[in-house]
Amino acid sequence: MYLFRMAVSKPLQTMQIVLGYPAARLAQLLCVRLRRSRLGLFARTFLLLLVLMLASLGAWLLVFVSIELGPRAAQLSRRIATSVNLTQAALTYTPALERPAMLRELSRREGLDVYARSNTDIVESLPDDNYWQRIALLVRATLGAETRLAWTVNAVPGIWVSFRIDHEPYWLCFDRHEIGLTGGLEWLSWGAAALLLSILGAALGVSYINRPLARLARSAHLLSRGESPAPLPETGARELRALNASFNRMARELEQTDTDRALMLAGISHDLRTPLTRMRLEIELSNIDDQARFGIDQDLAQIDHSIGQLMEYARPPSATPQRAIDLSALMLELTERERGLTRAHGGQLQTKLEPDLWVYITAFDVQRVMSNLLENARRYGRHADGTLDLYVVLKLAASSVVIEVHDRGAGIAGVDIERVRRPFSRGDTARTGAAGTGLGLAIVERLIHHAGGSLALLPRLAGGLRVRVELPAAQPES
């Protein structure tokens, strides 16, 4: 942001000198708006360059007009004075009988119209602007102070200059288009052409700068979702080459780290579960009483469950599919299977599933999400009287597909909701107990976030917890 302010401070000072305070103030306000807006980098840079180019174009137009005004007024005043002198000399030395023919010849060849001047002529003075008043001043300095210049005579437009022949007054009429400044339509056409070139130049320049950054942003987004982006091209400007090379190296190192972590956890899981299986077998063959055997078996099952949760958390989300899946059909299949597991725990599972809802997520990740949510609900969602009633809802809300899992347990206190969403964090014993690794919700949230969705833990009006999952809705695949 400091570099942004430094980059625009000098142009703003120049604009204030050339165009005045209002234009500079307007550009400064635009820069402040750009810094506070939510526009993308391309739009911000494009608008800034466009404003600076337009300000530069306006300054150059003012410079051109001011440069043209003085020399053109002097040039055209000399032309007027020369034409008047030549016409006066030609008519003075032409016999009176031949003067009408001479006047017609001057009008035809030189575009000079000579009219007799009368005191009854209706005369309109020249416009009161710098250009025409300067021409009038220079013409009078050459032809004499008594010379009159008019904008119209008897409602006839032109540039009218008075002179005398043998003490007889006359008017010499010039065409305005030959004497006036460059027309407004011509300036407008040149300005429109310059504006179009400025817009194209700004768009091309910003696109050249923004394209590598947009590619980097897309790759960073893919990397944040656990996917492996294609290597960025290490070409172009030196800074971009260094940036892309650093990003490619970081992506390779992260991918290698994930691979090493998965391999390490797989090895740990194998090395731990093998002696656990052997211990179970030895316990079954031992002569200890049933109560002790049951306690030891429960401890081993808890250790095995913790290992499974750690492996589940370490496993990265599946790549986002290119084709949407029918979530309604998948949820119907998953809930039927989970209904049997819930019944085995002494509870019941009710469902309300809307048909034909599609999302971009893999079936395996949906299975991981639902198994974790329903496992938590079965473990901690019992009512105070010991009953277990679970409720699963699938519905469409605006542009999102919503999955809700309801239970009638103790719920989670509002102050603990954000904490229990973090890995290895557990709430009070009423909800989470002493068992578990505290990874269930963290796994669910990572999978949902990877698919572009969100997870919310909400209190249930009738008591308990309502877990709400939202996923972007997709169009049905044909």
357 falls within a domain: yes
Residues 410 and 329 in one domain: yes
Q: What is the pLDDT, as a whole number, of residue 402?
A: 94
In a domain, 253, yes or no: no
The average pLDDT across 437-441 equals 69
Q: Which of 47-56, 388-397, 460-469 has the lowest mean pLDDT?
A: 47-56
pLDDT at 78 over 60: yes
**Residues β-bridged to residue 472:** 400
Same domain flag for 152 and 218: no
CA count, 13 A, side-chain hemisphere, 200:
6
Residues 142 and 198 in one domain: no
pLDDT score for 333: 92
Q: Are residues 326 and 341 in the same domain?
A: yes
Q: Which range among 184-198, 242-256, 392-406 has the greatest average pLDDT? A: 392-406
Domain boundary pick from 179, 211, 235: 179
Give yes or no for a contact between 464 and 409, defined as CB atoms under 8 angstroms apart: yes
Residues 351 and 449 in one domain: yes
Which CATH number is 349's domain given? 3.30.565.10
Answer for the pair 469, 402: CB distance below 8 angstroms, yes or no. Answer: yes
- pLDDT band with cut points at 50, 70 and 90 for residue 212: confident
Flag the least confident range among 41-55, 162-176, 387-401, 440-454: 41-55
Say if residue 232's pLDDT is above 50.
yes
DSSP β-ladder status, 400-406 and 389-397:
antiparallel
Give the residue among 228, 218, 221 at the shortest CA–CA distance from 251. 228
Of 162-176, 260-274, 431-445, where does mean pLDDT reach its minimum? 431-445
Categorize the per-residue pLDDT at 32 as very low, low, confident or very high, splitting at 50, 70 and 90: low
Among the residue ranges 122-131, 274-283, 377-386, the one predicted with the least confidence is 274-283
Domain range for residue 130? 95-179
264 in any annotated domain = no
188 and 171 part of one domain:
no
Distances (CA, A) of 178 to 75, 88, 106, 134, 191: 12, 20, 16, 17, 22
The answer to whether residue 294 is domain-embedded is no
Q: pLDDT grade, residue 10 (50/70/90)?
A: very low
Predicted confidence (pLDDT) per residue in 302-322, tens digit? 777 677 666 666 666 666 777
Q: How many angstroms separate the Cα of 443 from the Cα of each of 69, 266, 327?
A: 76, 18, 19
Most confident of 88-97, 389-398, 442-451: 389-398
The CA distance from 409 to 69, in Å, is: 88
Per cent of the chain over pLDDT 90 is 11
Residue 447: per-residue pLDDT: 84
In a domain, 272, yes or no: no
Tell me how far apart the alpha carbons of residues 252 and 33 are, in angstroms, rounded to a whole number. Answer: 39
In the chain, the percentage of residues whose pLDDT exceeds 70 is: 78
| 81 located within any domain | no
pLDDT score for 46: 74
Q: Does 39 lie in the same domain as 125?
A: no
Q: Which of 121, 155, 179 is the C-terminal boundary of a domain? A: 179
Predicted local distance difference test score (pLDDT) of residue 472: 92
Residues 145 and 164 grouped into a single domain = yes
Domain count, the chain: 3
Question: What's 110's domain CATH number?
Answer: 3.30.450.300
Mark whether 136 and 208 lie in a shared domain: no
Residue 194 lies in a domain: yes
Quote the pLDDT of residue 31: 57
Under the banding of pLDDT at 50, 70 and 90, the label for residue 8 is: very low
Q: Is the pLDDT of residue 9 over 50?
A: no
Whether 303 is in a domain gets the answer: no
330 and 197 both lie in a single domain: no
Instruction: Tell me the mean pLDDT in the region 102-121.
Output: 79
Q: Residues 6 or more apart from 369 whose CB is under 8 A from it? A: 403, 444, 447, 448, 469
Among 124, 158, 179, give the residue marking a domain's end.
179
Tell me: pLDDT of 410 over 70: yes
Residues 360 and 454 reside in one and the same domain: yes
pLDDT for 317 equals 65
Average pLDDT rounded to a whole number, residues 355-364 = 90
Name the residue with higher pLDDT: 222 or 308.
222
The pLDDT tens digits of the residues spanning 329-344 come to 999 999 998 998 899 8
At 384, the pLDDT band (50, 70, 90 cuts) reads confident
- Both 57 and 204 in one domain: the answer is yes
What is the number of other CB atoms lying within 10 angstroms of the CB of residue 198?
A: 17
